[in-house]
Amino acid sequence: MAMDAGSVACNQSWSISEDSLRRYVQFASESCVQELLMSASSENSSRGGDGWKILSRNNGVEISKRRSGSLHIFRSRRLLRSVSPQQFITVANAIDAAKQWDPDMVESRYIKDVEDNLSIIRLKFGQNSKPFFRRREFIVYERRETMEDGTLVVAVASLPKEIAAGLLPKQNNAIRGLLVQSGWVVEKLEDLNSCVVTYVVQLDPAGWLPKFFVNRLNTKLVIMIIENLRKLVQTTPPH
């Protein structure tokens, strides 16, 4: 990976070969998948020794958090009845989730496919978005995996800013936020028409935002995402 010598310190970008990009995204996304699986582990959650602090349990929804640097990672777990894993996984993706963050999304497009199950996506919000997302954009990878036991995993996280800038230079008025880690683990049950969904998120919108407000935003996201996507499943006609 070589830095473009013409870049200034405040707007660095890296030239990166296709092979280097592929290897980086493969490694980062595999690590994210493993983190999601550990976060969804019922055994670890019940022991409480993995750093997760349960904030609430209401109506079958468990909300918890774990410190990671100056921010927290937030997690929600929920049993969905009358929603099969195959149904939910159709809406468990970067674009449908980002539409739940803020409705004023002005662009959502695939930049490139790294592999059949691994893509790079641009998410961009407009001037009329809420303050947390106003003029923000996120350059993320999305990896989709089916484990041997049938568990479905979708991992979504931002590329490092230098690599993202090399792929897609930032516009002057845009603020490039970081989706540090996010994703879903969808577990099948004996009742094939139901599933258990775990959603994990750590989002840093960047800009001059106090950490307290950023953590509050993540709490809101982790509470609403599964419910909103459940509603989306029920209003989406079957293919």
- pLDDT, tens digit only, all 239 positions of the chain: 444 433 333 445 556 788 889 999 999 999 999 999 999 985 555 455 578 999 988 878 899 999 877 778 999 999 999 999 999 999 999 999 999 999 889 999 999 999 999 999 999 999 999 888 999 999 999 999 999 999 999 999 999 988 898 888 877 788 899 999 999 999 999 998 999 999 999 998 886 667 778 888 888 899 899 999 999 998 876 65
Q: What are the chain's domains?
A: 54-235 (3.30.530.20)
Q: Are strands 61-68 and 71-80 parallel, antiparallel or unpaired?
A: antiparallel
d(CA 95, CA 49): 33
pLDDT at 170: 79
pLDDT at 49: 55
User: pTM for the complete prediction?
Assistant: 0.88
Burial class (CB in 10 A: 0-12, 13-18, 19+), 192: exposed
Q: How many CA atoms lie within 13 A of 236 on its CB side?
A: 15
Between vectors from CA 65 to CA 205 and to CA 117, what angle results, nearest 5°? 65
User: Which residues fall within 8 angstroms of residue 152, CB to CB, at 6 or more apart?
Assistant: 85, 89, 92, 144, 145, 146, 184, 185, 186
Q: Where are the alpha helices (DSSP H) in the chain?
A: 18-40, 42-47, 85-89, 94-101, 161-167, 211-235
pLDDT at 237: 64
pLDDT at 81: 92
Residues 120-159 as b or e (16 or more Cβ within 10 Å = b): bbbbbbeeebeebbbbbbbbbbbbbbeeeeebbbbbbbbb
Between vectors from CA 55 to CA 52 and to CA 61, what angle results, nearest 5°? 100
Closest C-alpha among 164, 153, 156, 150 to residue 182: 156
Task: Name the residue type at position 210.
Answer: P
Closest C-alpha among 231, 144, 228, 221 to residue 179: 221
User: Which residues fall within 8 angstroms of residue 231, CB to CB, at 6 or more apart?
Assistant: none
pLDDT at 232: 93
pLDDT at 29: 97
